[in-house]
């Protein structure tokens, strides 16, 4: 509850929560390791993930965006086929389920009504469910078979920030643990990789003034903004667009770089800001191509790239981390840019209009 949590020296809970992310990463690393430094997750959870023939991730909003990233970990590391669904759609339009499905609900609050409706149905059908939440004892936690806790500490701002990165980190650990249980070598040593991520996030929050400048340069007066990326970066773009629109009321859209030419490029005018994420080697040339296409039509490109994949006109280069984990780092730039864009427009950052922190009605 907001009354129990202090903002300290921060002007807003959102800014405080963005800055708390290195600490959250450290908490997660600590809580998901035993004394010997081995990854630690309940055996019953590992068995249920490992034995599932398909995983259905169900969530809303930012938690859904974390699920999209999580799917990549589960498929590439744990090698279990995974689908990600928006809860409110899944309820009315359930796909044909596999023989042995496992449901994973991702919810910061653990109280989201749309997600709960799916959980109730999954249980009615006799399926197993795991909830990944920040709130122990929440409805989704109580009603599922298993829970993994985010250890992010209370998140007060309506715009979710540290819960998103915590969700991704926990999904990464879970996927690694399941891979280990199957003696699969993913080639990723997740704890040191998450430690690197922690350092990278620290560098970005320390660079907050630079993010404020980027917000000024690209978003001060604009009506709209586009976020593009491919693969992992596409998912982060979706989250960046949601963050920006919910707090700054700038109309924002995130989409896959390759989709530009299929319609959205028609909207590019002189000065339209395009935020391009470029952290993935195998799509780097393609995203470069997309940037060229929009620049040729007058767009104002804000390029967030990763060390080693620098572009000609980078706006910001994030420190190098494992490519699969780059969303944990690149998103922090977008969180801060959204924060400052909203702040400079005089918006109520922590309590944007028309929104509630947790949506407990359908
Ligand atoms: C995020 O910034 C949002 N305000 C919202 O999309 C949120 O992520 C969504 O309502 C899901 O909430 P939950 O994680 O508590 O289930």
The pLDDT tens digits for 264-307 are: 999 999 999 999 999 999 999 999 999 999 999 999 999 999 99
Backbone angles phi, psi at 8, to 5 degrees: 60, -130
Q: Is the pLDDT of residue 3 over 90?
A: no
Establish whether residue 280 lines the binding site of ligand 1, counting it when its CB lies within 6 angstroms of any ligand atom: no
- For the stretch 187-229, pLDDT in tens is 999 999 999 999 999 999 999 999 999 999 999 999 999 999 9
Contact 13, 7 (CB under 8 A): yes
Does the interface ipTM go beyond 0.85?
A: yes
| Any atom of ligand 1 within 6 Å of the Cβ of 60 | yes
Give 362's pLDDT tier (boundaries 50, 70, 90): confident
Tell how far the Cα of 160 is from the centroid of ligand 1, in angstroms: 6
User: Measured between alpha carbons, how far is residue 206 from residues 211, 212, 240, 336 in Å?
Assistant: 10, 12, 19, 11
In the sheet that holds 82-86, the strands lie side by side as: 82-86, 54-59, 101-107, 128-133, 146-149
Q: pLDDT at position 5, please?
A: 82
The residue contributing the CA closest to ligand 1 atom 4 is 159
pLDDT at position 129 over 90: yes
76 among known catalytic residues: no
Quick check: CB of 331 below 6 Å from ligand 1?
Answer: no
- What was the pLDDT predicted at 4? 66
Does the pLDDT at position 256 exceed 70?
A: yes
For ligand 1, atom 6: residue with the closest CA: 61
Atom of ligand 1 nearest to the CA of 109: 15
Indicate if the pLDDT at residue 139 is higher than 80.
yes
Closest C-alpha to 328, from 47, 53, 118, 22: 22
Average pLDDT over residues 231-253: 98
Cβ proximity of 242 and 61 under 8 Å: yes
Q: Which atom of ligand 1 is nearest to the CA of 59?
A: 16
Kindly give the distance from the C-alpha atom of residue 310 to the centroid of ligand 1, in angstroms, as a whole number: 33
Model confidence at 360, pLDDT cuts 50, 70, 90, reads confident
214's CB contacts (< 8 A; 6+ apart) are 302, 315, 316, 333, 337, 340
Higher per-residue confidence, 310 vs 6? 6
CA distances from 286 to 252, 283, 331 (A): 22, 5, 21
Contact 118, 91 (CB under 8 A): yes
Can you tell me the mean pLDDT for 337-354?
A: 93
What DSSP string runs through 68-118?
A: HHHHHHIIIII---EEEEEHHHHHHSPPPP-SSEEEEEEESSS--HHHHHH
Supply angle C-alpha 33, 34, 39, rounded to 5: 45
241 lines ligand 1 (CB under 6 A): no
Residues forming a β-bridge with 251: 224
- What does pTM read for this prediction? 0.97
Residue 310's CB is within 10 A of a number of other CB atoms, namely 13
The single residue of 196, 210, 216, 357 carrying the catalytic annotation is 357
For residue 112 and ligand 1, the question of a CB distance below 6 A is answered with: yes
**CA of 298 relative to ligand 1 center, distance in Å:** 34
For residue 112, which atom of ligand 1 is closest to its CA? Answer: 16
Measured distance CA(72)–CA(65) in Å, rounded: 12
Neighbours of 361 (CB within 10 A): 7
CA distances for 175 relative to 161, 172, 266, 267, angstroms = 22, 5, 40, 39
Q: For ligand 1, say whether the CB of 248 is within 6 Å of any of its atoms.
A: no
Q: From the CA of 358, how far away is ligand 1's center (Å)?
A: 6
Pocket-testing residue among 62, 119, 238, 254, ligand 1, by greatest number of atoms within 8 A of Cβ: 62
Give the model confidence (pLDDT) of 44-64 as tens digits: 999 999 999 999 999 999 999
The H or E element containing residue 342 is: helix 326-344
Q: Which of 359, 360, 361, 362 to mutate to test the pocket of ligand 1 (most atoms within 8 A of CB)?
A: 359
| Calpha distance 318→211 (Å, rounded) | 12
Ligand 1, atom nearest to 158 Cα: 4
Q: Residue 97: CB within 6 Å of ligand 1?
A: no
Task: Tell me 319's DSSP state.
Answer: P
- Whether 246 is in the pocket of ligand 1, judged by its Cβ within 6 Å, is yes
pLDDT score for 302: 97
- Please tell me the distance between residue 163's alpha carbon and the centre of ligand 1 in angstroms: 9
Q: What is the pLDDT of residue 290?
A: 95
């Amino acid at each position: 509850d907001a009354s129990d949590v202090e903002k300290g020296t921060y002007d807003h809970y959102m800014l405080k929560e963005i800055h708390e992310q290195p600490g959250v990463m450290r908490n997660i690393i600590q809580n998901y390791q035993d004394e010997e430094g081995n990854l630690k997750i309940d055996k019953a959870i590992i068995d249920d993930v490992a034995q599932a023939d398909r995983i259905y991730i169900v969530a809303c909003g930012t938690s859904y965006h974390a699920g999209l990233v999580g799917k990549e970990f589960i498929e590439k590391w744990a090698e279990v086929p995974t689908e990600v669904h928006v809860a409110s759609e899944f309820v009315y339009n359930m796909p044909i389920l596999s023989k042995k499905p496992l449901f994973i609900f991702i919810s910061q609050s653990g109280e989201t009504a749309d997600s709960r409706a799916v959980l109730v149905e999954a249980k009615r059908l006799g399926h197993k469910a795991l909830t990944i939440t920040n709130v122990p004892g929440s409805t989704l936690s109580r009603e599922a078979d298993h829970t993994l806790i985010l250890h992010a500490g209370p998140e007060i701002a309506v715009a979710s920030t540290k819960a998103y990165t915590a969700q991704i980190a926990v999904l990464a650990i879970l996927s690694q643990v399941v891979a280990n249980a199957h003696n699969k070598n993913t080639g990723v040593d997740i704890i040191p990789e998450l430690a690197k991520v922690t350092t990278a996030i620290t560098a970005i929050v320390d660079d907050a003034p630079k993010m404020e400048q980027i917000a000024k340069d690209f978003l001060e007066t604009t009506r709209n903004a586009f976020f593009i990326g491919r693969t992992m970066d596409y998912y982060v773009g979706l989250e960046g667009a949601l963050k920006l629109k919910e707090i700054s009321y700038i109309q924002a859209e995130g989409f896959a770089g390759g989709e530009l030419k299929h319609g959205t490029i028609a909207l590019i005018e002189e000065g339209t800001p395009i935020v391009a994420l470029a952290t993935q080697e195998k799509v780097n040339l393609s995203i470069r191509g997309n940037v060229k296409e929009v620049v040729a039509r007058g767009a104002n490109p804000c390029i967030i790239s990763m060390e080693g994949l620098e572009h000609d006109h980078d706006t910001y280069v994030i420190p190098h981390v494992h490519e699969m984990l780059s969303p944990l780092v690149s998103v922090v730039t977008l969180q801060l840019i959204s924060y400052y864009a909203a702040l400079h427009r005089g918006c109520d950052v922590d309590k944007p209009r028309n929104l509630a922190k947790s949506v407990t009605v359908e």
